[in-house]
Amino acid sequence: MNPIVEAALVLADGEIFEGEAFGAEPDTAISTGEVVFNTVLSGYQEVITDPSYAGQIVTFTYPHLGNYGINAGDHESRRPFLRGVIARDIPRRHSNWRSDTDIDSFLRQSGVAGISGIDTRRLTRHLRDAGAMSGAFGTASEASLLAAATAEPGTAGVNLAATVTADAAYDVASKRSDRVEPWNMVAIDYGIKSTILDQLALLGNVTVVPAGTPAADILARSPHGIFLSNGPGDPEAVTGATDTIDGLLGQVPVFGICLGHQLLSLTLGLEAFKLPFGHHGGNHPVRNLATGTVEITSQNHNFCIADSPVSGVEFTHMNLNDQTVEGMRCVHAPAFSVQYHPEAGPGPHDSRYLFAEFESLMTTHHGAR
C-alpha cells in the first residue's frame, strides 16, 4: 500500500474538507477546477473518462470508489479530461474478472489527482445549497489552496470543447448486423463518448470530425445524417458552432445530445443558462411529452436550455425533478435533440430508442436503405 499523505480540499467560499491524497501528484501540489457531484452507484470509470467533465473536479456520492477496478474496454475517451476526483473511500483491493488495474494506479498513469477520506455527504449538501463552485485540493497549505480556488475561473465563458475535440477526422466502421445497407453519418466531436459511437455504429458508418469543421466540409462528405455530440462547459463559448449547425439544418437530418442539444437549441433561437449545481447522475426521471412515458436517464450537464417558446421549436421532454427542458425538435427541419444521455454507458437504457428515431428521420429524408 502507498503511504498515507494528508491533503485538503478548499472551496472558493472558504469551506475546508480534510482527507488523503491518492492518484497522481500534481507538480504544484494543487489541483483546481469547478467542483460538482455525481450520484451514480456504478460507472465511475465511464464518468472519469467522459470528456464532458473537462474543467471539473468530480465528487462521487457513492461511498466506495474503485470496487471493481478499471477495465480499458470501458473508457469513454482516449484519456480523462477532468481536473480531479473526490471520494469517501478507496477500497484496498478491487475485484472483477474484467479489471486491468486499480483506480489509484489508473489515475497516476493518467496524471489525475484524487482526494479520499472526504465527508462527501457534507460536501454534496453544501454544493446543493450553495451551488457548484471553484475549488482546489492537494497537499499544499490551506492558504495556498484557498488562493488557488478563488483564482480558478470555472467553466462559464470557456470554450472547453476546443480542449477535448479530435485533432483530425477519423472513421468508425459500421457494426450493423442485418443485411440493410449502412447509413453514412458525420459526428461533430465536441467531446464525444465511445458509447455514443458504439450506438451510431449499429446504424452505419461514422466519420468523426473536429468541432471547428465548417458546414461546407461536412456536407462535402455527403452524409445521410449529422450527429452533434456531448461535450463540456458553456455552449455559448463554443466558437463557430451555431454557424456550422445553421449551415446544416434543412440539408440533412440532425440529432444532438447534451452539449449538441444546447448548440442546436441556440442555433434555433433558444437561450441557455447555468444550473445551480447541474445534473450529474444516472437516475433522473424525464417525461416524454408526446407519450407521457417516464424514462430514467443518465445526465451530465451544468448548462440548460430555457423553456421560453420560440417559433418553429417544439419541446419534447421534461425533467421531473426541476421541470427543466430535456428535449426538443425543429418543426421546419429534420432535427431533434435531448439534454440527457440515451446511450448511457453503463446504463440506464430506457432512452436508447432515440437512435432508432434518428434512423427513422434519415429514412424519411433519404428513403429506405
Q: Choose among 266, 278, 270: nearest CA to 233.
A: 278
Distance of alpha carbon 366 from alpha carbon 322, whole angstroms: 38
Distance of alpha carbon 219 from alpha carbon 239, whole angstroms: 19
CB 317 within 8 A of CB 288: yes
In b/e form, how buried is each residue of 134-164, taking b as 16+ CB within 10 angstroms? bbbbbbbeeebbbebbbebebbeebbbbbbb
Task: Count CB neighbours of 50 within 10 A.
Answer: 30
Catalytic residue, candidates 20, 46, 236, 343: 343
Q: Tell me the torsion sign for CA atoms 337, 230, 34, 113.
A: positive
Element (H, E) at 316: strand 313-319
Active site includes 341? yes
Judged by DSSP in three states, 134 sits in: strand
Three cell numbers written together for 267: 442555433
Active site includes 304? no
Q: At what angle do helices 259-267 and 241-248 cross, to 10 degrees?
A: 70
Task: Count CB neighbours of 132 within 10 A.
Answer: 24
Phi and psi based region of residue 169 (left: phi greater than 0; alpha: psi -120 to 50; beta: remaining): beta
Catalytic residue, candidates 20, 258, 317, 359: 258
Active site includes 258? yes
CB 80 within 8 A of CB 47: no
The answer for residues whose C-beta is within 8 angstroms of residue 107's C-beta and 6 or more apart is: 22, 23, 24, 48, 80, 85, 113, 114
The answer for residues whose C-beta is within 8 angstroms of residue 218's C-beta and 6 or more apart is: 186, 188, 209, 226, 244, 248
Residue type, 247: G
Catalytic residue, candidates 75, 261, 301, 341: 341
The catalytic residue positions are: 258, 341, 343
